[in-house]
Structure 1
Amino acid sequence: REIVHLRFAADLSYDQIAQMLGVPVGTVRSRLHRALKAIREQLEEHENGT
């Protein structure tokens, strides 16, 4: 959730987020990918009424 906020609400780059959190850029990318996938799945469940 934090990475999603930093990427989209704060409009930070992957490099900026990685530096801020003290993790490699690849970690930022994979965490963001997983977070967006989870959000997408939750939205689909909500749309399907489950």
Structure 2
Amino acid sequence: MDGLPGYAEKLARGYDEYPDILRLATWHHFERGDSARVEAAVRSNQAKVDQIA
């Protein structure tokens, strides 16, 4: 799995295997909106965001 398509596939499979992660992220968004960021998630995804940009 290379690049963005591979990453998207891995992410989707992870959500299938651990649906609670997606559920928790969704609830966080509902309760906090876009103004509050989860710094651990931001740090975890920053390299991927940089590559896409």
TM-score scaled to structure 1, two decimals?
Answer: 0.34
TM-score scaled to structure 2, two decimals?
Answer: 0.32
